[in-house]
Amino acid sequence: MSIISEFRTFITKGNVIDLAVAVVIGVAFNAVVTALVTDLITPLIGIPGHVDFSAMTFTINGSTFMYGSFINSLISFLVIAFVVFLIMVKPAAKIEERRAAKAASSGPTTKTCPECLSTIPIKARRCAYCTSVQES
């Protein structure tokens, strides 16, 4: 198989395409959250002192450090992390918890006949193989 055909096979696999879609949606979501933080959240936080975080800077030896922009990015990160936690992590944990509870509560569905050692349903009153009467 040539390198080109191997690459084509790799690219057309579903998980690679799904990952690409997730990255594109993630970038778009990041832009929305950044706009939310920059345009709505930080002005609300800065209302008491009329502070604009994006304009906060300091200069050392001619280099300007925009720590206000860093604060905006930090708030954006926290908002995105919180949304991912609420939308993905919590529901996945709940699903896993339900799955574990269902597996634990279901218990065994078969038993072994003491006479012929065949596997039979747990609710059986007689063995299907040797017809011996089963205990309740």
Nearest to 74, CA basis, from 54, 88, 60: 54
How far is 81 from 75, CA to CA, in rounded Å?
Answer: 10
Nearby residues of 111 by Cβ (< 8 Å), 6 or more positions away: 119, 120, 121, 122, 124, 134
pLDDT digits (tens, 9 = 90+) for 17-30: 778 888 888 888 88
pLDDT digits (tens, 9 = 90+) for 89-127: 899 889 989 988 887 777 778 899 999 999 999 888 999
Burial of 77 (0-12, 13-18, 19+ CB in 10 A): middle
Structure tokens given for 91: 């529901």
How far is 57 from 69, CA to CA, in rounded Å?
Answer: 9
| Span between the terminal Cα atoms of the chain, in Å | 62
What average pLDDT does range 5-9 have in this prediction? 84
pLDDT band at 8 (very low <50, low <70, confident <90, very high): confident
How far is 41 from 48, CA to CA, in rounded Å?
Answer: 13
The model scores a pTM over 0.85: no
Burial of 106 (0-12, 13-18, 19+ CB in 10 A): exposed
pLDDT digits (tens, 9 = 90+) for 39-89: 887 777 765 665 667 778 889 999 988 888 888 788 878 888 888 888 888
pLDDT at 48: 64
Are 113 and 129 in contact by the 8 Å Cβ rule? The answer is yes
What are the structural domains of the chain?
3-106 (1.10.1200.120)
Are 36 and 79 in contact by the 8 Å Cβ rule? The answer is yes
